[in-house]
Chains A and B, each alone.
Chain A
Amino acid sequence: MTHHVLPGFRLSAGYTLTVLGSCVLLPLAALLWTAFELGPSGWWAQIGTRRVLAALRLSFGASLLAAIIDTLLGLLVAWVLVRYRFAFRRVCDALVDLPFALPTAVAGLALTALYASNGWIGSRLLPLGIEVAYTRLGVLLAMVFVGFPFVVRTLQPVLESLDTDLEEAAYTLGASPRQRFLKVILPLLLPTLLTGFALALARAVGEYGSVIFISGNRLFQTEIAPYLIVQKIESQYDYRGAAALSAVMLIASLLLLIAVGVLQRWARRWAVIR
Chain B
Amino acid sequence: MAIEISRLRRQFGQHVALDDLNLTIAEGEFVAVLGPSGSGKTSLLRILAGLDHPDAGTVEREGEDLLALDARRRGVGLVFQHYALFPHMTVAQNVAFGLRVRPWGLRPRAAAIKARVQELLKRVELDGFAGRYPAQLSGGQRQRVALARALAIEPTLLLLDEPFGALDAQVRGNLRRWLRELHRSLGITTLFVTHDQDEALEMADRVVVMNRGRIEQIGTPEQIHRYPATPFASRFIARSQVLSGYLEDKVIHVLGRSWPLEHDGIDPTLAIAVHVRPEDIVPVCHQDEGWSARLLSVRHVAGTARVALHVSGLDEPLDAVWTERDWLRHGVAVGERINVHFQTLTVFAEGGEGRLHARIDVHPPHATSPVTVGPWRRLEA
A–B interface present (Cβ within 8 A): yes
CB distance from B310 to the nearest CB of A (A): 48
Closest chain B residue to A167, Cβ basis: B84
B50 within 8 A of A: yes
In the complex, chain B residues whose CB is within 8 Å of the CB of A169: 78, 80, 84-86, 149
In the complex, chain B residues whose CB is within 8 Å of the CB of A174: 72-73, 98, 101-102, 153
A274 within 8 A of B: yes
Q: Which residues, 60 to 91 on B, are CB-close (under 8 Å) to A? A: 71-74, 76-78, 80, 82, 84-90
Stretch in A102-110, A179-187, A202-210, A225-233 with 4+ CB within 8 Å of B: A179-187
In the complex, chain A residues whose CB is within 8 Å of the CB of B78: 168-169, 172
| Size range of the chain B interface in the assembly | 20 to 34
Q: Considering the chains assembled together, what is the distance between the CA atoms of A165 and B51 in angstroms?
A: 10
A101 within 8 A of B: no
The number of chain A residues with a CB under 8 A from chain B is 23
B49 within 8 A of A: yes
B133 within 8 A of A: yes
CB distance from B85 to the nearest CB of A (A): 8
B135 within 8 A of A: yes
Contact of A187 among B73, B88, B133, B135 (CB under 8 A): B88
In the complex, chain B residues whose CB is within 8 Å of the CB of A272: 133, 135-136
Contact of A175 among B51, B89, B97 (CB under 8 A): B97
Q: Which residues, 147 to 177 on A, are CB-close (under 8 Å) to B? A: 163, 165-166, 168-176
CB distance from A274 to the nearest CB of B (A): 5
In the complex, chain B residues whose CB is within 8 Å of the CB of A176: 72, 101
Closest chain B residue to A165, Cβ basis: B84
Contact of B101 among A173, A187, A188, A269 (CB under 8 A): A173
In the complex, chain A residues whose CB is within 8 Å of the CB of B84: 163, 165-166, 168-169
A26 within 8 A of B: no
In the complex, chain B residues whose CB is within 8 Å of the CB of A183: 97, 101
Closest chain B residue to A166, Cβ basis: B84
Closest chain B residue to A163, Cβ basis: B84
Contact A274 B136 (CB under 8 A): yes
Q: Considering the chains assembled together, what is the distance between the CA atoms of A63 and B103 in angstroms?
A: 39
A88 within 8 A of B: no
Closest chain A residue to B74, Cβ basis: A172
Q: Considering the chains assembled together, what is the distance between the CA atoms of A168 and B81 in angstroms?
A: 12
A271 within 8 A of B: yes
Closest chain B residue to A269, Cβ basis: B133
Contact B71 A273 (CB under 8 A): no
Q: Considering the chains assembled together, what is the distance between the CA atoms of A168 and B82 in angstroms?
A: 12
Contact B149 A173 (CB under 8 A): yes
Q: Considering the chains assembled together, what is the distance between the CA atoms of A162 and B279 in angstroms?
A: 48
In the complex, chain B residues whose CB is within 8 Å of the CB of A9: none
Q: Considering the chains assembled together, what is the distance between the CA atoms of A171 and B152 in angstroms?
A: 14
CB distance from A175 to the nearest CB of B (A): 4
Question: Given A165-B82, A165-B84, A184-B86, A173–B98 Cβ distance below 8 Å?
Answer: yes
Closest chain B residue to A190, Cβ basis: B88
Contact B136 A172 (CB under 8 A): no
Contact A172 B89 (CB under 8 A): no
Contact A271 B135 (CB under 8 A): yes
Contact A170 B136 (CB under 8 A): no
In the complex, chain B residues whose CB is within 8 Å of the CB of A86: none
Please encode chain B, from 97 to 139, with 1 for each CB lying within 8 Å of some chain A CB and 0 for all others. 1100110000000000000000000000000000001111000
CB distance from B121 to the nearest CB of A (A): 16
Contact B101 A172 (CB under 8 A): no
A270 within 8 A of B: yes
In the complex, chain A residues whose CB is within 8 Å of the CB of B74: 172
Q: Considering the chains assembled together, what is the distance between the CA atoms of A220 and B84 in angstroms?
A: 55
Q: Considering the chains assembled together, what is the distance between the CA atoms of A143 and B133 in angstroms?
A: 38
In the complex, chain A residues whose CB is within 8 Å of the CB of B76: 172
CB distance from B76 to the nearest CB of A (A): 6
Q: Considering the chains assembled together, what is the distance between the CA atoms of A34 and B74 in angstroms?
A: 70
CB distance from B142 to the nearest CB of A (A): 12
CB distance from B9 to the nearest CB of A (A): 22
Closest chain A residue to B159, Cβ basis: A172
Contact B87 A172 (CB under 8 A): no
In the complex, chain B residues whose CB is within 8 Å of the CB of A165: 80, 82, 84
Closest chain B residue to A273, Cβ basis: B135
Q: Considering the chains assembled together, what is the distance between the CA atoms of A188 and B102 in angstroms?
A: 21
Which of A163, A169, A171: most chain B CB closer than 10 A? A169
In the complex, chain B residues whose CB is within 8 Å of the CB of A271: 87, 133, 135
Contact A166 B135 (CB under 8 A): no
In the complex, chain B residues whose CB is within 8 Å of the CB of A172: 49-51, 71-72, 74, 76-78, 150
**Chain B contact residues, CB within 8 Å of chain A:** 49-51, 71-74, 76-78, 80, 82, 84-90, 97-98, 101-102, 133-136, 149-150, 152-153
**Chain A contact residues, CB within 8 Å of chain B:** 163, 165-166, 168-176, 179, 183-184, 187-188, 269-274
- Can you show 17 pairs from A to B with CB atoms below 8 A apart? A165-B82, A168-B78, A169-B78, A169-B149, A170-B86, A171-B71, A171-B72, A173-B150, A173-B152, A174-B73, A174-B102, A175-B101, A176-B72, A188-B88, A270-B135, A271-B135, A273-B135
**Would you list the 8 A-B pairs with minimal beta carbon distance, nearest first?**
A173-B98, A165-B84, A169-B84, A175-B101, A270-B133, A187-B88, A270-B88, A172-B78
